[in-house]
A and B are shown apart, each in its own frame.
Chain A
Amino acid sequence: MDDLLEQVIHGLTLGSMYALVAAGLALMFGVVRLINFAHGDFFMLGAYVFWWGFRELALPYPVAAAIAVAGMAGFGLAYQRTVVRAVLGRSWHVQLIATLATSIVLTNGAIIVMGTQPKEVPTRLSSAILDIGGFRIAGQRVLVLAASLVVFAALHWFVTRTKTGKAMRAMSQNREACAVVGVDVQRIALVTFGLSAALAAAAAALVTPLFNIFPDVGALLTLKAFAAVIVGGFGYVNGAIVASLLIGLAEALAAGYVSYAYKDAFAYLIMIAVLLWRPQGLFGRRIGI
């Protein structure tokens, strides 16, 4: 029973990481209709910035995390102003290839600069084992789960209560109408990208003490985030979050009870299964034509 609970916690931790990344991806697609194949690399870059701040500069954990989040938010803005603006409005082929190419550049750039050796970022919490009601759990995992909840609550508040957030939701439903009504479409797009990248960086700062960082992690994560976004229904942030948790759970349980080697395949298999059964995703709606 303990073993199962441990796997479930592990799965939820994994799922929270996926959820933070997938939420950003869903936001990008929802608000500006961009398929961002470079999204996982935001996580990867955020992880390396965090590592640099924490290990190389010996900054305290929260400071390093803040730097990573702020840095990636800036990167997200820069990304929107350069690559995204050049391909927005073009065919989705162009968008896909452009963002895929960006991902290749980022991933291999990281290989050149940082090397392929995985980096570790052990923090006090990652080695600390907390005892909660007789059940032992790594402190870092508690942090991941708690922080993710806080982040998602904040995100929900932002999207439903603030002017910018509401504008984002409006844009995801009808972009042309927003432009007509006077919503600053450009600014909202910028905010969306900054926010999405920041979410990925937050995931990185939370999770890298538990796992290693290596340049290829971006590509793997992009695919899993896509799986979550597709399963949840394209553009539905809440759907992506729920789907991510499901995928994380499935992956952990499969790794623990079925086969560790094939664990990565499970996210894709789930995605394929959902696509076969409900092509519009669990929460998406089917539109005619």
Chain B
Amino acid sequence: MALLEVRGLVKRFLGVTAVDRVDLVVESGDLVSLIGPNGSGKTTLFNCMTGYLRADAGRVLFRGRDVTGAAPHRVARLGIARTFQQVSVFPRLTALENLLVFLQQHQEESIVGRLLRLPRVRRLEAVAEQRARALLHRVGLAAHAGAPAGTLSYGQRKLLAFAAAVMPDPDLLLLDEPAAAVNPTMINHMKEQILALNRQGKTVLLVEHNMEVVMDISRRVVVLDHGQKIAEGPPAAIRRDPRVIEAYFGR
């Protein structure tokens, strides 16, 4: 059973078909890149998969379970994490708190326990904080743990958003253009992080425009154009695929 399966997904906006009967299968442990020219429907597909948009037709299955149309917070709790194309953090919370927010829904707790700050609660919080600090260290933001996220630079916020998505130990990580608008050093950093995660067994699906990144790290590439899947396969094959070349340059 595949980890993620998208069957015949369709999404229309005011007459334009943004996603046109797309099928997608992601196996556990895979590292897949979703590419295509601007407006080909990649982020729309992400949004439909994670509950931010309601698909007009088709199904999304996670571990065989139908999650089509589930609300975003439910999707997140099932083990699917995502980042956003416009980098998204909680600006008024510190970097550390940003990560803690992502973990809290995955810990069982009662409201009374929270209010009374029972010992068990405090222990859980200590563990959470430890994990958060370790993650910040891993992405190189340990020094900024106490800084409000809004004061961080664009690249730093991107790293923070990435760390936050990883924080709840998700089974599937959806990254929306992780390499966009950051300097080359950061890009390499990001590539390493993604590869490291994948080596640990995490499944990653990323939308990306940066071909170097795509070709470097992906095991498989899926190509969208005008909402339709036009090609799929290992990076080397996609690079030579005439349909892909035409989609990018033929217009």
Q: Say if A and B assemble together.
A: yes
A contacts, CB < 8 Å to B: 285, 288-289
Q: Contact string, B47-59, partner A, CB cutoff 8 A, digits 1/0?
A: 1000011100000
B contacts, CB < 8 Å to A: 13-14, 47, 52-54
Question: Which chain A residues border B53 with CB–CB below 8 Å?
Answer: 288-289
Q: How far is it, in angstroms, between the C-alpha of A288 and the C-alpha of B44 when the chains are bound?
A: 11
Q: Closest approach, in angstroms, between the C-beta of A233 and any C-beta of chain B?
A: 15
Apart from A288-B13, A288-B52: 7 A-B pairs, beta carbons within 8 A? A285-B14, A288-B47, A288-B53, A288-B54, A289-B47, A289-B52, A289-B53
Question: Which chain B residues border A285 with CB–CB below 8 Å?
Answer: 14
Q: How far is it, in angstroms, between the C-alpha of A182 and the C-alpha of B2 when the chains are bound?
A: 53
Q: Which residue of B lies closest to A289 (CB)?
A: B52
What are 9 A-B contacts with C-beta separation under 8 Å?
Answer: A285-B14, A288-B13, A288-B47, A288-B52, A288-B53, A288-B54, A289-B47, A289-B52, A289-B53
Q: Closest approach, in angstroms, between the C-beta of A285 and any C-beta of chain B?
A: 8
Q: How far is it, in angstroms, between the C-alpha of A288 and the C-alpha of B13 when the chains are bound?
A: 9
Q: How far is it, in angstroms, between the C-alpha of A288 and the C-alpha of B52 when the chains are bound?
A: 7
Interface residue SS majority, chain A: loop
Q: How far is it, in angstroms, between the C-alpha of A8 and the C-alpha of B54 when the chains are bound?
A: 42
Question: Which chain B residues border A288 with CB–CB below 8 Å?
Answer: 13, 47, 52-54
Q: Closest approach, in angstroms, between the C-beta of A288 and any C-beta of chain B?
A: 4
Q: Which residue of B lies closest to A286 (CB)?
A: B54
Q: How far is it, in angstroms, between the C-alpha of A288 and the C-alpha of B53 when the chains are bound?
A: 6
Question: Which chain A residues border B13 with CB–CB below 8 Å?
Answer: 288
Q: How far is it, in angstroms, between the C-alpha of A285 and the C-alpha of B12 when the chains are bound?
A: 14
Q: Closest approach, in angstroms, between the C-beta of A286 and any C-beta of chain B?
A: 10
Q: Closest approach, in angstroms, between the C-beta of A1 and any C-beta of chain B?
A: 46
Q: How far is it, in angstroms, between the C-alpha of A265 and the C-alpha of B13 when the chains are bound?
A: 37
Q: Which residue of B lies closest to A285 (CB)?
A: B14
Q: How far is it, in angstroms, between the C-alpha of A285 and the C-alpha of B47 when the chains are bound?
A: 19
7 smallest beta-carbon distances between A and B, as pairs: A288-B53, A289-B52, A289-B53, A288-B54, A289-B47, A288-B52, A288-B47
Q: How far is it, in angstroms, between the C-alpha of A48 and the C-alpha of B47 when the chains are bound?
A: 53
Q: Which residue of A lies closest to B72 (CB)?
A: A289
Q: Closest approach, in angstroms, between the C-beta of A14 and any C-beta of chain B?
A: 36
Q: How far is it, in angstroms, between the C-alpha of A289 and the C-alpha of B53 when the chains are bound?
A: 6
Q: Closest approach, in angstroms, between the C-beta of A190 and any C-beta of chain B?
A: 31
Question: Which chain A residues border B14 with CB–CB below 8 Å?
Answer: 285
Question: Which chain B residues border A289 with CB–CB below 8 Å?
Answer: 47, 52-53
Q: Closest approach, in angstroms, between the C-beta of A248 and any C-beta of chain B?
A: 32
Q: How far is it, in angstroms, between the C-alpha of A289 and the C-alpha of B11 when the chains are bound?
A: 13
Q: Closest approach, in angstroms, between the C-beta of B150 and any C-beta of chain A?
A: 15
Question: Which chain A residues border B54 with CB–CB below 8 Å?
Answer: 288
Q: How far is it, in angstroms, between the C-alpha of A285 and the C-alpha of B13 when the chains are bound?
A: 11
Q: How far is it, in angstroms, between the C-alpha of A187 and the C-alpha of B101 when the chains are bound?
A: 46
Q: How far is it, in angstroms, between the C-alpha of A218 and the C-alpha of B47 when the chains are bound?
A: 43
Q: Closest approach, in angstroms, between the C-beta of A289 and any C-beta of chain B?
A: 5
Q: Closest approach, in angstroms, between the C-beta of B194 and any C-beta of chain A?
A: 26
Q: How far is it, in angstroms, between the C-alpha of A158 and the C-alpha of B239 when the chains are bound?
A: 56
Q: Closest approach, in angstroms, between the C-beta of B110 and any C-beta of chain A?
A: 32
Q: Closest approach, in angstroms, between the C-beta of A173 and any C-beta of chain B?
A: 12
Q: Closest approach, in angstroms, between the C-beta of B52 and any C-beta of chain A?
A: 5
Q: How far is it, in angstroms, between the C-alpha of A289 and the C-alpha of B47 when the chains are bound?
A: 9
Q: How far is it, in angstroms, between the C-alpha of A285 and the C-alpha of B15 when the chains are bound?
A: 13
Question: Which chain A residues border B47 with CB–CB below 8 Å?
Answer: 288-289
Q: How far is it, in angstroms, between the C-alpha of A53 and the C-alpha of B47 when the chains are bound?
A: 59
Q: Closest approach, in angstroms, between the C-beta of A91 and any C-beta of chain B?
A: 14
